[in-house]
Amino acid sequence: MRVAITAAALLTPFEEIRKPIVIIEDGKIFALGVQDDLQLPCGIQTLAFPDAVLAPGFIDVHIHGGGGYDVMQAADSPSALASIEALLAKHGVTAYCPTTVTASIDQTKKSLAALGKAIRGKPSANGGATPLGVHLEGPFISTEKCGVHPVKDIQKPSAKLFEEFWQASEASVKVMTIAPELAGAEELIRDASKRGVRASVGHSNANAAATLSALAAGASHATHTFNAMRPLDHREPGILGVVLGEERFTADIIADGIHVAPEVIKIFLAAKGEDRAILITDAISATGMPDGRYRLGTFDVDVSNGKATSSGRLAGSVLTMDRAVRNIMEIANFSLRQSVRMATINPARMLGVGDRKGSLAVGKDADIVVLTPQGNVIKTIVGGHV
């Protein structure tokens, strides 16, 4: 059945279309144009949002949980992912990468097996966000810049161990955070890149030379820029200098006003531009929940006044993607279109799924978020389902 959606404006997000109409059929965008130019078939169902803006559904490539659940609970709690996906859709996210945190090898494999099964299975019928692939954050990270990741479970980069993770996930790992200065990192980056895995530099104390070597080996992205990274220095720019200055790197950032100061977010946006900057949440199980104690992987996190910490260190966030989009509008004075781009087509292209997700065009997945002009979510449509 075809459904027509009308609104005041539409963000592709490359351009803005006034008085648009989108026709969806079988989970895809069948037609898209201006209301006055597109004739509707008689009797077609219409959803009208006369004061709203249509945009591509948001994509979060770094999220650990929400609604009281952690993605690594998927092996033990069948309702975990469904609850997380429902919360994501509430905030405009239509696709995501469930993100692990460093844990024992056995626990990591167990979680990857459950996540891989969910990703390879049929799309959820609950109308929630769709998992695109696992983001493996750890264990191939620096002990010096590990943040709250358990040091005892950190591993040296190993093609053999990655192969075990890959098999456990049913070939569903899509992103891997890795510290490029570690012995064996370049080999692993090359191996993972050949499988279509995006190697993302992060949790790293790398100097500029090591980061450039990782880039040459196939690394192409950076994880939560500024956080858990060697600080920028004007004589030894380190990992940050390369990530910010090198056009071949895309980079993501946690724009919650806690992880990175607004002034530094402006520097990040000036360096990466609206086409290479990506918004993430790094959200944990506490997202959408009251203050209290929650889980991140295998350890506890305390949340108070919007800040998540473990043993005094930042431990993810309770940020939602719609809030991140609005924060960019406020901090950088970006338009809604510019801010939406960093949550849609940019992550889609980074993941290699830009041919079907991240923008609104004929033939693409009908993943749509209906927004107020200020960026608040009114409705979310995932694969044509409201």
State the catalytic residues: 282
Rounded (10°) CA dihedral 342, 344, 348, 354: -120
Tokens describing residue 11: 């963000």
Which residues contact residue 53 at a Cβ distance below 8 angstroms, ignoring those fewer than 6 apart? 7, 8, 9, 10, 11, 336, 370, 371, 372, 373
Reduce the DSSP state of residue 189 to 3 states and report it. Answer: helix
Which residues contact residue 234 at a Cβ distance below 8 angstroms, ignoring those fewer than 6 apart? none
DSSP code for 232: P
Cα 58 to its chain centre, rounded Å, is 8
* 3-state secondary structure string across 80-142: HHHHHHHHHHHCCEEEEEEEECCCCHHHHHHHHHHHHHHHHCCCCCCCCCEECCEEEECCCCC
Which residues contact residue 236 at a Cβ distance below 8 angstroms, ignoring those fewer than 6 apart? 207, 208
Distance CA 309, CA 334 (A): 30
**Phi then psi dihedrals of residue 62, to 5 deg:** -150, 95
Task: State which H helix or E strand residue 30 sits in.
Answer: strand 28-34
Distance CA 196, CA 50 (A): 41
